[in-house]
Chain A
Amino acid sequence: MGKGIIQARDLVKRFGELTAVDGISFVVREGECLGFLGPNGAGKTTTIRMIYAISPLTAGELYVADYDIRHHPRKIKGMIGVVPQENNLDPDLTVLENLLVYARYFEIHKQEAVRRAFELLDFLELREKKDRLIEELSAGMKRRLIIARALIQRPRILILDEPTTGLDPQARHLIWQRLRSLKREGVTQILTTHYMEEATQLCDRVAIMDQGMILRLGSPQELVAAEVGEEVIELQVGEDEEARIKGFLEGSPFIWEQAGDTLYLYCSNGREVLASLARYPHLRLVHRPATLEDLFLKLTGRRLRE
């Protein structure tokens, strides 16, 4: 394993009293897609904003392609394409102008910029909209345009903060395909998302964050297998039966937890469990493979975050 294109050691970010990122360390390998998952306020955006040098570190060390972020922010920003969580396209400019003006910040020549801009408009299926103003675009088009904008400088590293939040399935799938094709070209990607399916589809490894710390880091399959097991059985129980079932489960070797009216059993021998549950014929149950979502909820809890 190489040293990694990004190395973060004991990163800390405080906003006054609040510690948003609390001493995290990680390595991003060249060419991989690393996902940051975590509930609202976990510190995902804060972490990646430090990586693209827009937010200074409170403490710790951060190297991108062996450049120290404190000394070479310009160089580092020159190789990172950024899709921020909140759209910040230029509303005074058209779709095409947004790309061309952005290209100028990277000192890309006009001719080359035009060539790349049209290439990217095709890649993200936006060519027809090239002369539209930003306010005339749908949410999905805006997101695609921001991705195009992030790619205009041919970045080595692409940072995507919730690239598909709020988009319809068609737009989401288009974006996924494009991101996978960029990965095949060797672009390193860092992604945050609240969609576990998205992380499963795109990420080689995920870091699960909560309260400014990384709880787990590894490949989704391995983490799920290690922490949750292979299968999940969801039981929906009525109030009358709840006590009896819980009594049964407490006496059993199964790992389980309750959220509202649902009991979750984590196991790798689902059939046996189902057999032993056969004595409760009125149960409504679902038996399915364990997913990243189970792992996520298990690690970060099921309660709402503010």
Chain B
Amino acid sequence: MYRELLALSWPSWRAYRVWQRNLDSYRRYYWASLVGNLGEPFLYLLAMGYGLGSYIGEIEGMSYLQYLAPGLLVSSAMFAATFEGTYGTYLRMAHLKTYEAILATPLTLQDVVLGDLLWATTKGLISGLIMLLVLLPFGLLPSPWALLLPLVLIVVGLLFSALAMVVAALSPNWEFFNYYLTLFISPMFFFSGVFFPLTNFPSWVKGVSAFLPLTYAVALSRALTMGEVSVSLLAPLLWMLLPTLLFGCISLSLIRRRIIK
């Protein structure tokens, strides 16, 4: 019995087929999608970086635009992965019956969930990479360590995809996502050190911030962007990878409970 569980609980490389399916359907509307998940962070960069930045002096020894860039970079990956992981997953799982159709083939639910997770991660990565291309000509990536930023984007994508899929699995309807987006994602966007350091905030805010996964993503991204690399960066990396594993497993078991009847 235990062996059976183990054998069944590992996804296979067939998850790639699900990823491919999502890519095929994405090709039909990728322009709309790109504009959608890139627009917002890019606007923030222009409006706040240039607009507000010209009134603000330096933060932590760098221009405001430079301060803002690494955080907006990971935020764009976060938003793209979040939207795909919530709306996209829910659409395929509950409305299009894509999961049902695929489960009648040699693929298992593990494959399907992993495929969707990797797809949402890919959307995060695509969005982040475009943001990187935007930052490059502005000279906002001074250190060669920035070459590692795509890896950070992948880690961020995985984490927020896993979280989003937990929400999708629990969601009874589309409106449900508003709770997650307004009560969790948006506040996190403002209190993870993207726009301002939390040094002057009361300690409970800092305490809350230390629980927000985006905080670690921003710290990691900023360190690589500025070339301030040390072993201590492994801690934020770990703080993103561990919850990814945890929420990945939770999303799988919740989706199983929802789908397998």
Contacts and interface: CB of A to CB of B under 8 A. Distances in A.
Interface of A: 15, 52, 54-56, 70-71, 73-75, 77-78, 80, 82, 84, 86, 88-93, 97, 101-102, 104-107, 153
B21 A90 contact: yes
A106 B105 contact: yes
A80 B107 CA distance: 13
Closest 8 CB pairs of A and B: A92-B25, A88-B97, A105-B105, A88-B101, A82-B104, A74-B106, A78-B106, A77-B106
A52 B106 CA distance: 10
Interface in B102-122: 102-108
B97 A54 contact: no
B171 interface: no
A104 B20 contact: yes
Contact of A55 (B98, B106, B260): B260
Interface residues of B, number: 22
Nearest to A83: B104
Interface of B: 4, 14, 17, 20-21, 24-25, 28, 96-98, 100-108, 260-261
Nearest to B12: A74
Contact of A54 (B14, B28, B100): B100
A77 B104 contact: yes
Given A74-B108, A77-B106, A105-B106, A90 B260 contact: no
B101 A90 contact: yes
Contact of A91 (B4, B14, B96, B261): B96
B17 A90 contact: no
Given A71-B4, A91-B96, A84 B21 contact: no
30 contacts: A15-B261, A52-B104, A54-B103, A54-B104, A54-B260, A55-B260, A70-B4, A74-B106, A75-B106, A78-B105, A78-B106, A84-B100, A84-B101, A88-B98, A90-B25, A90-B96, A90-B101, A91-B96, A92-B24, A92-B25, A97-B24, A101-B20, A101-B21, A101-B24, A102-B101, A104-B21, A105-B102, A105-B107, A106-B105, A106-B106
Contacts of B260: 54-56
Nearest to A92: B25
B253 to A, nearest CB: 14
B29 to A, nearest CB: 8
A74 B14 CA distance: 11
B28 A92 contact: yes
Given A88-B96, A88-B100, 9 more contacts: A74-B106, A74-B108, A89-B101, A90-B25, A90-B96, A93-B24, A104-B21, A105-B102, A106-B106
A47 to B, nearest CB: 14
Contacts of B96: 88, 90-92
Nearest to A91: B96
B17 A105 contact: yes
| Dominant secondary structure at the A interface | loop
Taking each of B4, B21, B97, B105, which has the highest tally of chain A beta carbons within 10 Å of its own beta carbon? B105
B157 to A, nearest CB: 21
B101 to A, nearest CB: 4
Nearest to A78: B106
Contact of B261 (A55, A92, A93): A55
Contacts of B28: 92
A90 B23 CA distance: 13
Taking each of B20, B25, B102, B104, which has the highest tally of chain A beta carbons within 10 Å of its own beta carbon? B104
B104 A84 contact: yes
A6 B113 CA distance: 30
A135 to B, nearest CB: 12
Contacts of B107: 105
Contacts of A153: 105
Given A70-B4, A71-B4, A101-B21, A90 B104 contact: no
Contacts of B4: 70-71
A92 B21 CA distance: 10
A75 B21 CA distance: 22
Taking each of A55, A91, A92, A106, which has the highest tally of chain B beta carbons within 10 Å of its own beta carbon? A92
Contacts of A77: 104-106
A101 B103 CA distance: 14
Contacts of B97: 86, 88
A92 B119 CA distance: 16
Contacts of B24: 92-93, 97, 101
A102 B107 CA distance: 11
A70 B3 CA distance: 12
Contacts of A75: 106
Nearest to A81: B104
A86 B98 CA distance: 12
Given A15-B261, A71-B4, A88-B100, A102 B105 contact: yes
A80 B4 CA distance: 22
Nearest to A97: B24
